[in-house]
Amino acid sequence: MVRPRNGGLGVIFVALLGATVGGCVTEGAERGDRGALLEVVVADGRVELVRGTPIELLDHPAEHDVADTDLRWELRSEEGALLAAGRTRDPRLVRFESFGEADLGSEVVRAGAGVIDIEIPDVRGTLRLVAEGGALLGELTHTPLDGREVVLGGGDGKADIDFDTDVIGRPVQVVGSGESSQRFNLLFLPEGYRREELGRFHDDVAVALADLRATAGYGEHWDQLNAYYQDIQSAESGLSDPRAGVVKDTAFNVTFGDGTAVPRRCLMPSSAWNTVSVANVRRFKDEVKADVVIVIANSAETGGCARPSDKLVVQANDDDQGRTLAHELGHALFGLADEYTEAGRRCGYGPNLTYDLQAIPWRDLVSESTQIPTPDDAGAELVGAFVGGGYCASGVWRPQQHCLMRSLDRDFCQVCLRLVEEAFRDRAEAITAANVTNRMNEDIWLKCDGWGEGCSNWTKLAPGASADMAFRDGRILVTTSLIGTKVFRVPAARFSVYPSATDPFTPPDGGGDGDDASVDANAGTFTDASSGEPDGGVPDSSCTFADLVVNEVQTGGTAGTDEFIELRNACAGPVDLTGARLVYRAASANGASDTAILATLSGSLAADGYLVAAGSGFAGIAQVRPLASGLSANAGAVGLRDSAGALIDSVGWGVTSNSLVEGAAATAPPAHGSIARTTAMVDTDNNAADFTVTASPTPGAANGM
């Protein structure tokens, strides 16, 4: 049971699903150029270098989709000429979750500083980081590395760790003894503990781990966890508190929020967090190959927050720390989504949620007699489809009435428990090295799902080529024209990639390399598309991609993700959608790459049929959901590309001048409205003439013009 303190209010932290990698959409650099991977601290008015590592620049595909909150980086010459540019997620964003005795709540806030990795050409210039609105966050001068790794420190000297005096001994393993690549690895660090208080830090770690072990899903797999702590002394005890005017000299300069821009109980390093502190956190993490770093803050007041870009979580040493840790590792290790609702939030997604009652992932656990959707009073033990989850009260369904991902006084539901068990099994059976062969008639891209030692970077394979690759946790990113970019388990020590939109590791004739294994596609991918017509038939060879048009677009409604894109087939027969991609470009994005691939399609679209691809907040019927990135309400453009990447049709809205706009952009639609094609199937290649704003969208049906 949860033991609430301070009037029943506590704080927990967010799922950590991967590090932010800057420069994922890069302009102005060529494959084979000398490059530099820069580890950079970003704060308001300040950009500092932590480490520079020589690399070869690769013309690899974008690994991450780009949202409206992202940052733009520019590398400019001494004369001011633009040498290269790209976009990256804002690493200062953290998520703050609050809870009472049972109920949870969440919000995203912007902390004072964060860390990103940016790939740039290794040439002399000035690196500038610019916020979405154009404000300059800071800049630094880049001097060519010339093949040498450079590690720098800086900042105001606050929170620097002296490894000769402050770091005491080596990491101590307190749980497990197995190979790190086949176990989940946790590292605990102390914050605000003086040397004489480190014994209490050890006790706090022991309490958190004991509570974690007592939680269903963890105790059964305790031999598949490694946990460590590293002793680090702080000069002063406790935490800084800006509201009280208290400044403490501590190892990582963790502070309470100011109560205005950042909630008071969001514990995070302040904007004074400098390059030395950042380098130290990563140094400790890398030494034990930690999946998650958990900083235990020496505070009697409950608090916590997380910075996904740094795989860093912070929580106070309160009575609830073990239970909240169990919830947060549900995010961090197993990819589970929150199942509670939160007004005004964008909807989330995960393998324990569904947006389509016709394709429930846990259908095998649902009794034939269970009503779908399932009424709230159907029973706490029943597996079904209960409305509400992922912060949204409608349009999304969760497996059971109660779950640890919904309320802290419950254990994992049956579906989450099965996902936890599968994750432990997958990690135990992870294949960390493999030889991969390209059996497609096109170049493909492969990469370890992660970064760092023991994790292969992007590798381009020509048709028929092979390569040896390393996979730190047994997962691989695959990019082909048929599937876009997806994450899979590495299926065998030797395997091939075949032309398939769903299962690229199984040959069309059922043969193969002799080492084929089952493939577990990551739930966070977006390749599920069909016509929605059960009798769509075999595609007629006379009907092609050219017969498709973008018919209607809604950019927002009840929530920012209440959005959709509608396609229509003008042909008398079905059109094969295999490999087609819905793409998005921000208003002024005119580089070689689209801002985001919203979805990669498969299946077919029936004659005179409609396909709706929707965001996670859309409450209607959609054949594809959720979109991989949001649409800007004010200005932007979407397009449909064929399997070779050629543009089929597109529409832009608002003040937009990118390459997806046909003629002049259409008027931006209001919330709950849409832009709809004025005359069915008439395309004059002028968006302003072909589309008009309507207050009554008609997704999946003829436009009401």
CA angle, residues 341, 528, 336, in degrees to nearest 5: 35
User: Which two tokens mark 270?
Assistant: 């302040």
User: For residue 645, which amino acid is it?
Assistant: G
Tell me the H-state helices in 570-644. none
For residues 188 and 170, what is the distance between their CA atoms, to the nearest angstrom?
13
**Residue type, position 382, single letter:** L
Q: How far apart are CA 583 and CA 598, in angstroms?
A: 5
Crossing angle for the helix pair 198-213 and 321-332, to the nearest 10 degrees: 70
pLDDT of residue 82: 86
Q: What is the pLDDT at residue 221? A: 93
SS (H, E, C) 270-318: CCCCCHHHHHHHHHHHHHHCCCEEEEEECCCCCCEEEEHHHCEEEEECC
What pLDDT sits at residue 386?
A: 96
Q: What is the CATH number of domain 21-151?
A: 2.60.40
CATH for the 430-523 domain, from 1.25.40, 2.60.40, 3.40.50, 3.80.10: 2.60.40
Q: At 27, list the tokens.
A: 């302009």
Q: Which two tokens stand for residue 412?
A: 């994992």
The terminus-to-terminus CA distance of the chain in angstroms comes to 57
CA–CA separation, 219 and 175 (whole Å): 12
CATH code of domain 545-694: 2.60.40.1260
Q: What is the pLDDT of residue 165?
A: 85
* Tokens at 198, concatenated: 């480190």
In angstroms, rounded to a whole number, what is the distance separating the alpha carbons of residues 640 and 597? Answer: 10
Given this model, what pLDDT does residue 336 score? 86
Relative to beta strand 150-151, strand 34-43 is unpaired
Beta strands in 44-81 (DSSP E): 46-56, 71-76
* CA 200/CA 207 separation, integer angstroms: 10
Could you tell me the pTM of the whole model? 0.62
The residues pairing with 478 across neighbouring beta strands, listed in sequence order, are 446, 486
* Cβ atoms of 193 and 298 closer than 8 Å: yes
- pLDDT for residue 37: 84
Distance set, CA 296 to CA 187, 193, 286 (Å): 10, 9, 18
User: Cβ distance 67 to 308 under 8 Å?
Assistant: no
Specify the domain boundaries for CATH 2.60.40.1260 within the chain: 545-694
Cα distances (Å, whole numbers) of residue 149 to 9, 35, 36, 51, 285: 46, 12, 9, 7, 19
Task: Name, in order, each residue with C-beta under 8 angstroms of 43's C-beta and a sequence gap of 6 or more.
Answer: 92, 112, 113, 114, 137, 138, 271, 273
**pLDDT at position 307:** 61
Q: Encoding tokens for residue 232?
A: 């680090």
Half-sphere exposure at residue 295, Cβ-oriented, CA atoms within 13 angstroms = 36
CB burial of residue 584 (10 Å; 0-12, 13-18, 19+): buried
Give mean pLDDT in consecutive 10-residue pieces for the chain, a chain of 705 residues: 26 30 41 73 76 70 46 87 81 61 57 76 90 80 85 48 84 85 91 95 94 93 94 93 87 80 73 58 82 89 67 77 82 84 71 88 93 91 92 89 89 95 87 91 83 75 90 83 80 90 76 41 29 34 82 86 89 84 86 82 83 84 82 90 89 90 91 86 86 88 75
Tokens in use for 459? 């590798």
Instruction: Tell me phi and psi for residue 313, to 5 degrees.
Output: -125, 150
